[in-house]
Amino acid sequence: MGVVSWAYGLAEGLLAESLPKRWAHSQQVYREAIALGPILGDDAALLAAAAIVHDVGYADAAVSTGQHMIDGGRYLQQIDADPRICTLVALHTSSPWEAAELGLSDMLHEFVPVSEHLVDAITYCDLSSSPSGRPVQPEERLQEVLDRYGPGHVVFRAVSAARPELLRMVQRVREKVSVASTARIV
């Protein structure tokens, strides 16, 4: 079984019944990752696998710290997933900022380093999917998160602080997609 099939089955088993909206969101994040395949080369399957499991930290079996990105990464470590997938799950989107808010930043050092372009890519994919699994512009998704959580919540504070960098990450991915599209046309 390939890493993508394995990851898909794992995420489906953890999310489909108990967290159907999270499962719908994860499937759209996965579709976004598949679409980025042409800019990822040999890392395409790695990103697709990380994309489908990126929110397993919400599943009861994974919850430990309450920070779903770290919990997901640690859960994947426990079941011997590829260390790079564990890292991408642990670092996606606003994780470093949220970890800082919660005093969990040291836990991020448990994960192996991965290329910045992969963290950019998984973040782009996550921000391109609404909570219900429909495609959305990342700028709209960030606003939706802020509106949903409100100023008193740790996620609001983390996303507010992270927003400029998250938008830079999105822009870097968009630029790579544009260059790849132009190269195919020429």
Handedness of CA 10, 15, 18, 24 (dihedral sign): negative
Q: How confident is the model at residue 73 (pLDDT cuts 50, 70, 90)?
A: very high
Average pLDDT of the chain, as a whole number: 96
Residue 186 has pLDDT above 60, yes or no: no
Domains: count for the chain? 1
CB 127 within 8 A of CB 138: yes
> Can you state the angle between helices 83-91 and 95-102, rounded to 10 degrees?
70
Give the domain range for residue 74: 3-185
Residue 183 has pLDDT above 70, yes or no: no
Residues 2 and 5: their CA atoms lie apart, in Å, by: 5
